[in-house]
């Protein structure tokens, strides 16, 4: 952790030591404080380590100091969207017509995947990430498997698609962890189907070779992903796990989202997907299982005891009729929780946090499985940790200056006392209540408007229309 103690002592107020924000109310991880100044290092202040990072946090400041930028409302650390497939945004609305299952939905999703190229993907992702910034999201985990041209031919630049996503995040002003995904088979022992050919590098070795060419940037981390146990043969799992371990990079995997996958895994390997991952060295504190919906008690113990994280995507899980995963039991056993908007049926991390608790209430017919503070930690600090942004997602000296401010004066949020800001944020606010989004000390969203992408709805409409058949 880089902690700029040299600048902390002097940086209590005033712009001389960097930029100062005055937060009318701030959520500090376990409580809401009124009147907090946050000072952010700028270039030349603490060197590169101070740049865009918080250098001091001072509660008990009743009025904005001269020169401070005022953030009215409730300011949270930036939200982390730990699981995204940017191109699924093109399916919004259109997949709500008619009946079906996850597997029929997937056919529609593949038809969009077939039409993307690096240019159209860049345009779409830039708009989607701008939508995320408007929703207060400051870091996204992009689970990326659309690697090659249709049919599977590599582009001249073999990482053209991944680089398009990294560039899109920069232009939308948010951080990205590109979770470059190994996707090698259609099912257990089956080669990729026609639409899946562009996902596949052939072998995990070839996947690793291509991934190793990707470069990290200030706003971009490179991580790894295994699409699922059906898409990566067991003999290839360790290669991907080793690649991530050597780089201390995050490793994500779709886990037991569907009972059909569990059954096929039992048939192929005589064990559950979780057990299979454990046996091939995939589990551990830098690994995150996505969905983890249909688990056995033993699976929960394996995940919790190894410190493997769990990313729940409740709005997608309910949209796809997946089921309700055992998030509470996983966390009790030691698995840190994060949240993702996954298929982008909606992009609203507050709704994801709320849904986690409300799903559990419906399932158990009791209330209060998580506090609002615990749900916000999943949406902030633990989400960032799952994406390899250690120390982010808190308002503390040394943390990246990533902030999200919600209005407490909308029709949804007016009324409750500000000290119940966390409860209001989780159980009443929506993405529409985000007024400011700040990334590395820069306003990406100001007063509800994106500062880099001028008309986000228009950008989304154009990018989605371009993909219609």
Please identify, using beta-carbon distances, which residue of 33 and 342 lies nearer to Zn ion: 342
E strands within 299-432?
309-312, 337-339, 403-406
**Which 3 state secondary structure label does DSSP give 62?**
coil
CB of 343 to Zn ion, least distance (A): 7
CB of 265 to Zn ion, least distance (A): 17
Please identify, using beta-carbon distances, which residue of 342 and 402 lies nearer to Zn ion: 342
Please identify, using beta-carbon distances, which residue of 342 and 351 lies nearer to Zn ion: 342
Q: What gap in Å lies between CA 313 and CA 345, rounded to an integer? A: 11
Please identify, using beta-carbon distances, which residue of 258 and 359 lies nearer to Zn ion: 258
Q: Where are the alpha helices (DSSP H) in 150-285?
A: 160-172, 204-211, 234-247, 259-269, 273-279
> Which residues, other chains included, contact 257 with Cβ-Cβ below 8 Å and sequence gap of 6+?
102, 228, 290, 291, 293, 294, 317, 322
Q: What gap in Å lies between CA 336 and CA 353, rounded to an integer? A: 14
CB of 198 to Zn ion, least distance (A): 17
**145 closest CA partner among 189, 87, 75:** 87
Q: Where are the alpha helices (DSSP H) in 313-380?
A: 314-319, 327-333, 349-364, 372-379
Q: What gap in Å lies between CA 230 and CA 225, rounded to an integer? A: 13
CB of 369 to Zn ion, least distance (A): 24
CA distances from 166 to 57, 116, 216, 252, 290 (A): 31, 16, 9, 18, 21
Please identify, using beta-carbon distances, which residue of 106 and 197 lies nearer to Zn ion: 106
Q: Which residue is nearest to Zn ion (CB)?
A: 342
CB of 303 to Zn ion, least distance (A): 17
Please identify, using beta-carbon distances, which residue of 342 and 423 lies nearer to Zn ion: 342
Please identify, using beta-carbon distances, which residue of 236 and 342 lies nearer to Zn ion: 342
Phi (first) and psi of residue 279, to 5 degrees: -70, -20
CA distances from 317 to 149, 213, 256, 359 (A): 29, 33, 12, 11
- Active site members: 291, 342
| Residues of this chain that bind Zn ion (CB under 5 A) | 342
Q: What gap in Å lies between CA 183 and CA 233, rounded to an integer? A: 9
Q: What is the DSSP letter of 142?
A: E
CB of 85 to Zn ion, least distance (A): 5
E strands within 92-206?
137-144, 175-182
Distance of CA 463 to the CA centre of its chain: 22
Phi (first) and psi of residue 446, to 5 degrees: -125, 125
């Amino acid at each position: 952790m880089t902690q700029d103690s040299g600048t902390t002592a002097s940086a209590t107020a005033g712009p001389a030591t960097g930029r100062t924000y005055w937060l009318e109310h701030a959520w500090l991880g376990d409580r809401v404080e009124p009147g907090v100044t946050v000072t952010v290092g700028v270039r030349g202040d603490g060197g590169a380590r101070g740049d865009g990072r918080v250098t001091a946090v001072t509660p008990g400041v009743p009025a904005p100091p001269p020169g401070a930028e005022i953030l009215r409302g409730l300011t949270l650390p930036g939200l982390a969207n730990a699981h995204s497939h940017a191109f699924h945004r093109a399916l919004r609305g259109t997949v709500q017509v008619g009946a079906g299952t996850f597997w029929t939905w997937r056919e529609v999703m593949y038809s969009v995947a077939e039409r993307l190229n690096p240019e159209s993907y860049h345009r779409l992702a830039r708009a989607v990430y701008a939508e995320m910034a408007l929703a207060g999201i400051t870091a996204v985990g992009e689970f990326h498997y659309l690697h090659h041209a249709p049919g599977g031919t590599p582009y001249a630049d073999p990482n053209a698609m991944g680089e398009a996503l990294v560039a899109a995040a920069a232009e939308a002003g948010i951080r990205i962890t590109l979770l470059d995904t190994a996707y090698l088979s259609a099912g257990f022992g089956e080669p990729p189907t026609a639409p899946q050919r562009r996902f596949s590098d052939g072998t995990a070795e070839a996947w690793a070779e291509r991934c190793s060419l990707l470069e990290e940037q200030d706003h971009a981390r490179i991580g790894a992903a295994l699409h699922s146990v059906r898409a990566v043969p067991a003999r290839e799992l360790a290669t991907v796990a080793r690649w991530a371990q050597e780089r201390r990079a995050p490793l994500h995997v779709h886990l037991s989202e569907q009972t059909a996958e569990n059954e096929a895994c039992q048939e192929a390997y005589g064990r559950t997907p979780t057990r299979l991952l454990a046996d091939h060295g995939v589990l551990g504190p830098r690994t995150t299982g996505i969905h983890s919906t249909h688990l056995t008690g033993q699976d929960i113990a394996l995940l919790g005891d190894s410190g493997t994280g769990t990313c729940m995507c409740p709005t997608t899980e309910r949209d796809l009729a997946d089921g309700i995963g055992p998030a509470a039991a996983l966390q009790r056993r030691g698995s840190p929780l994060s949240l993702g908007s996954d298929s982008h049926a909606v992009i609203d991390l507050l709704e994801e946090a709320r849904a986690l608790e409300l799903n559990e209430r419906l399932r158990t017919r009791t209330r209060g499985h998580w506090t609002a503070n615990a749900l916000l930690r999943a949406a902030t600090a633990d989400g960032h940790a799952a994406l390899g942004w250690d120390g982010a997602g808190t308002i503390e000296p040394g943390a990246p200056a990533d902030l999200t401010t919600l209005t407490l004066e909308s029709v949804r949020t007016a009324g409750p006392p500000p000290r119940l800001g966390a409860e209001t944020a989780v159980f009443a606010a929506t993405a529409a209540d985000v007024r400011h989004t700040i990334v590395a000390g820069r306003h990406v969203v100001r007063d509800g408007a994106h500062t880099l992408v001028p008309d986000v709805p228009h950008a989304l409409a154009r990018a989605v229309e371009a993909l219609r058949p």
